[in-house]
Structure 1
Amino acid sequence: MKSTLKTIGAAMLGGAIVLGSYITFVEQDEPQLPLVVESDNALPITTVNYTGSSIPMNNDFAQAAERTVHAVVHVKNLTMSKSKITLRDFYQGRSAQPQYAIGTGSGVIITPDGYIVTNNHVIDNSNELQVTLNNNRTYNATVVGTEPSSDIALIKIETDEDLPYVTFGDSDQAKIGEWVLAVGNPFNLTSTVTAGIVSAKGRDLNTRDNTQQSFIQTDAAVNPGNSGGALVNTRGELIGINTAIQSPTGSYAGYSFAVPSNNARKIIEDLMEYGFVQKGMLGISGSNLNTARARELGVDRSEGIYVGSVVEDSGAQEAGLREGDIIINIDGVRTRTFADLTGYIGSKNPGDVVRVKAVRGDRMRDFDIVITENTTMTIPSLEMDLRDLNSDEKRLFKVDNGVRIVDARGDLKPYSSQLSQFVITKINNVAVNSVSEVRQILNGVERNDMLYIEMKSPNGEIERLRLPAN
């Protein structure tokens, strides 16, 4: 194990930075995914009234495009990495040379003072960020915060003048078949607008790092460079952040996906207020219903979420939800699949209350459930998912403090199974008691400083990792 962990440290120190300017999802059989709604109106938002048609007269999208195009920016990411050296280079005394790469994408101005939402993969590993507005003015940008699991990032530019911005619409109210526009910078062609319809909602995809999320699917043409751009309705309101395409070629093939604006807005507000994203949970595990699953479970419904278990001390347990209940609706939003459920809960904060409608036996029941904190959090600077220890785990590892390693990402991904056998007890010789304390320690660490991580296994084995802070 020690040699393995030494290898992990070496891999992290010597690993090259990989720049991605867009994501392509390759179609797989039966794609499946998971979870995480709305705080104070810190950001401009428009409540959408859908009592009338959203289709403009003569399908004229000019007004919506005019409201949006000046608030969508071109993002350029300059990344530096060290070239690999050969054995001959080593013997001849040649050192690794810096290599520069440039990636591009899009972003959406959401406040007049220069806050911009984009995709995390557009700005990942950046050494320098530049933002070019529609009037060709260029500014340096700084990263405010990121949420890799949702592929959302918040950046900021400084300017003395108020900027054009896009207001948030309510993505929960977007309808399948509704006209939408995708605005971005595909192939470095700035200020490009394409039109399509909402093809599906609550679409779940198997992403490369196995995160789970609920996407809006559209047939508006989205290509490399559109990542981080705006998906707007015909009133010019932001209902999604364009994120991915599903294509065998890497270019548009009729399927593109956007993070719903309600989820993006919640993430952005958390990053502004806390510097990280608060994640809530309903407190259940379960499965989608279909005819075969319903027959297997002995229920007479083929649509909804079958509750397989309820998390101890969660809001679901406190409200009285039980194994065998079938969730069909949350706050009036139909929940046919787990992606519908997780997408809606993902826009909520711990402490929010949701009204859940569920079927128990032959009766319909309503439950007011408090969203509780999900203590499993992604720590981008460690490339790990960490969780607070419960009392049983403290006894198992014979510790009074620490956080459990749930999963590893990036360069650490190949070592995830080994790392999950440990708890982190100290970082830079400071004892950690919770994930929030880990964040506090990391907030005081400069980029590229070294992190000294002390870990313990159930058999008492102590291991140490030396990793660069990202």
Structure 2
Amino acid sequence: MKKKSFILTSIALGLSVLSTSFVAQASFPFIDADGQQIPSLAPMLEKVLPTVVSINVEGKQKSSRQNSEDAIPEEFRRFFEDGFGFSFGGMDNSPRSFRGLGSGVIINAQKGYVLTNNHVVDQADKITVMLQDGREFKGKIVGKDEMSDIALVQLENPKNLTEIKLADSDKLRVGDFTVAIGNPFGLGQTTTSGIVSALGRSTGSDSGTYENYIQTDAAVNRGNSGGPLINLKGELIGINTAIISPSGGNAGIAFAIPSNMANSLVQQILEFGEVRRGLLGIKGGELNADLAKAFGTDTQQGAFVSEVIPNSAADKAGIKAGDVIISINGQKLKSFAELRAKIATTGAGKAIDLTYVRDGKEKEVKVTLQSDEQSKTSARSLIPNLEGAELSNYSKKSIKGVEITSIKPKSMAAKRGLEEGDIIIGVNRQAIENLGELRKALDKEPSAIALNILRGDSNFYLLIK
């Protein structure tokens, strides 16, 4: 019997952006010119489509061809080699150029923030974002999270933009109608429709990513990555990110990152300059019929706790090995993978409500999540005229600030004299303790920007504007 071969692939290559702040009503039925009532999504889409963007990226990879290919998972290589996604060039040991297309959606018109997939913009040196009306903007990465495949891009000098309204994805139900927007195969802005096929879905891959997907049968193909999945009100319910298919094309099984999950990560990036993952402190797996019978519970879905880490948030809340966690914040859990994704994308220090089953009885407990220091994701440089600098929060001994963790050779940051290991502790005499404070200081758009920098035993100001 032949083994079935399925392709789980990211779908970077097209972009459609929602660029209006509105609450569109699902205009059914549509009244045509003859006064006839015709069911149509057109009235809603006329308001939504201007809020969708196309993303064009360019960059270079320093690794050799062999290393570059090795870095691409087997199930993704077909996508990278088919001429639709990325193209590589150069000798084996030289920097290799690549180009790619993806989709995104504007979530903040005033700041010019665009939500997309990490795999759309990862390693990009140049990002160009095009709106439905043909306008183009340069984009820069504000922050990204590889483990959840979310990235936040900011447009340069944003003007006359509109933003999409975010829906509460926790309220989705199987059977709800969905609409996906993107640029499949580079054809241009395309809209498809379907329903929510499943919730809390995991692909079962061993990549270590946090998967809590909305599954939909709306047609999604290469080029839809980062594009919006919306409801009939024109509200964002998810970010299209992957498909499963025997051939690599649409097979009616597509996955989107829930809007609540994406928004939680975005808010962490904007507030702290990094993703601060929550940590519950348990080990476990999926609940099955045998485990349910062995532990005397009628519960058939949930997260089975096999071990509780001493002094962890779970331990302090009284959770024990053998418990079955069945809901988080009132939302029923279908799997351990769903619990893992929701915990990891909830910020450290956040309080959550868990319901679990022990000895056949349901119990409720409030848990304050600890910080997972090993899986923080830092933001990239946000400082004008200092492109090429990677930034990370710094806190050692009595010093708090923003560390320059790496500098690209011949970049603007290098030409300005910044060095790896420099620590920014202030902007214009205002103390700075983390990336969030740095961003807030720069959001005020001061007429001059002088960075107070610690370098070894030296303390000096660097004027960059």
Give the TM-score normalised by the residue count of structure 1.
0.67
String of CA shifts for 1:20-62, please: whole Å, max 9, x gaps: xxxx97269xxxxxxxxxxxxxxx99999xxxx9895575322
Letter in 2 for 1:100: S
Among residues 364, 367, 375, which one is paired with 2:365 in the alignment? Answer: 367
- Provide closer, same or farther for how the CA distance between residues 104 and 208 of structure 1 changes in structure 2, counting only shifts above 3 A: farther
Residue 191 of structure 1, CA deviation? 2.2
Partner SS for 2:58: strand
Where do 1:431-450 residues align within 5 Å?
Answer: 440-441=402-403, 443-448=404-409
Partner SS for 1:110: strand
Q: Give 1:109's aligned residue.
A: 106
Among residues 60, 64, 75, which one is paired with 2:40 in the alignment? Answer: 60
Residue 143 of structure 1, CA deviation? 1.1
Letter in 2 for 1:329: S
Where do 1:63-142 residues align within 5 Å?
Answer: 63-81=43-61, 100-113=97-110, 114-142=112-140
Contact kept, 8 Å, 1:230 with 1:240, in 2: the verdict is: yes
Partner SS for 2:406: coil
Q: Give 1:39's aligned residue.
A: none
Residue 84 of structure 1, CA deviation? 6.5
- Provide closer, same or farther for how the CA distance between residues 208 and 289 of structure 1 changes in structure 2, counting only shifts above 3 A: closer
- Provide closer, same or farther for how the CA distance between residues 305 and 136 of structure 1 changes in structure 2, counting only shifts above 3 A: same
RMSD across aligned positions (CA)? 3.6
CA distance, structure 1, for counterparts of residue 206 and residue 282 of structure 2: 25
CA distance, structure 1, for counterparts of residue 253 and residue 359 of structure 2: 39
Q: Indicate yes or no: 2:291 matched with 1:311.
A: no
Contact kept, 8 Å, 1:216 with 1:240, in 2: the verdict is: yes
Give the TM-score normalised by the residue count of structure 2.
0.67
Letter in 2 for 1:71: T
CA distance, structure 1, for counterparts of residue 135 and residue 302 of structure 2: 50
- Provide closer, same or farther for how the CA distance between residues 283 and 161 of structure 1 changes in structure 2, counting only shifts above 3 A: same
Q: Give 1:324's aligned residue.
A: 322
Partner SS for 1:323: coil
CA distance, structure 2, for counterparts of residue 228 and residue 63 of structure 1: 23
CA distance, structure 2, for counterparts of residue 300 and residue 165 of structure 1: 45
Where do 1:81-230 residues align within 5 Å?
Answer: 81=61, 100-113=97-110, 114-159=112-157, 161-207=159-205, 209-230=207-228
CA distance, structure 1, for counterparts of residue 8 and residue 56 of structure 2: 29
Q: Give 1:26's aligned residue.
A: 7
Residue 194 of structure 1, CA deviation? 0.7
- Provide closer, same or farther for how the CA distance between residues 133 and 208 of structure 1 changes in structure 2, counting only shifts above 3 A: farther
Percent of pairs with identical residues: 35
Letter in 1 for 2:408: R
Letter in 2 for 1:447: K
Where do 1:349-360 residues align within 5 Å?
Answer: 349-360=347-358
**Matched residues, number:** 352
Contact kept, 8 Å, 1:63 with 1:236, in 2: the verdict is: no
Residue 162 of structure 1, CA deviation? 2.8
- Provide closer, same or farther for how the CA distance between residues 370 and 381 of structure 1 changes in structure 2, counting only shifts above 3 A: closer
CA distance, structure 1, for counterparts of residue 206 and residue 358 of structure 2: 37
Residue 322 of structure 1, CA deviation? 1.4
Structure 2 stretches of 5 or more lacking a match?
A: 10-19, 30-37, 67-90, 381-393, 422-465
Structure 1 stretches of 5 or more lacking a match?
A: 1-23, 29-43, 87-93, 383-430, 453-470
String of CA shifts for 1:136-157, please: whole Å, max 9, x gaps: 1111111111111111111111
Partner SS for 2:314: helix
Structure with greater contact order relative to length (CA < 8 Å, sep ≥ 6): 1
Partner SS for 1:122: helix
- Provide closer, same or farther for how the CA distance between residues 215 and 157 of structure 1 changes in structure 2, counting only shifts above 3 A: same
